[in-house]
């Protein structure tokens, strides 16, 4: 199969582009929630998972997540986000990008997803140093998402036949 996204009919390219923008809106609105729950800080990640009930100077009281709550968060996020990355990876496969770049965009977000949410589990078990790994992998995951969306929009809306 040797077709490329930029070769699709204009109406389908526009429809897929609107879908990508809608998907981006939903995905990146989650960053606002992340801002409120962690303040984009490693300590905020730890506080959100492990609580701060022993910190008398804390502005807002948080309790350690229950195992069930953490499992629910990990389960729902990993399942839904991996499906999202699978769909975007399928689309990226049909771009005119070099194979090494396509492969990176198709694999990296999933690796970061497992490291990020697996890291939350390890932190809950008491390995607090992992908060820095979680933060780095989360940043990589979000940057990968941006690269996926920008690349796909470029291929759908701007890329012309050679």
pLDDT at 18 over 80: yes
pLDDT at 1 over 80: no
pLDDT at 9 over 90: yes
Tokens 């804390």 belong to which residue?
Answer: 58
| pLDDT tens digit sequence for 26-79 | 999 999 999 988 989 999 999 999 998 888 887 888 899 999 999 999 999 999
Cα 24 to Cα 6: distance, rounded to the nearest angstrom: 20
| pLDDT tens digit sequence for 84-126 | 999 999 999 999 999 999 999 999 999 999 999 999 999 999 9
Residues 6+ apart with CB under 8 A from 92: 102, 105, 106, 148, 151, 152
Q: What's the pTM?
A: 0.91
- pLDDT at position 162: 60
């Amino acid at each position: 199969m040797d077709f490329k996204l930029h070769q699709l009919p204009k109406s389908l390219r526009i429809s897929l582009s609107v879908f990508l923008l809608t998907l981006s809106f939903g995905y990146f609105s989650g960053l606002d929630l992340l801002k409120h729950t962690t303040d984009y800080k490693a300590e905020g990640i730890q506080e959100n998972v492990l609580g701060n009930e022993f910190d008398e100077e804390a502005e807002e009281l948080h309790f350690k997540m229950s195992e069930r709550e953490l499992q629910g968060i990990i389960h729902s996020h990993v399942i839904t986000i991996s499906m999202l990355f699978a769909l975007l990876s399928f689309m990226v496969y049909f771009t005119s990008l070099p194979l090494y770049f396509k492969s990176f965009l198709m694999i990296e977000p999933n690796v970061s997803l497992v490291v990020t949410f697996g890291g939350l589990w390890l932190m809950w078990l008491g390995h607090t140093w992992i908060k820095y790994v979680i933060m780095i992998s989360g940043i990589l995951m979000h940057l990968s998402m941006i690269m996926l969306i920008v690349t796909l929009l470029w291929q759908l809306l701007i890329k012309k036949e050679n």
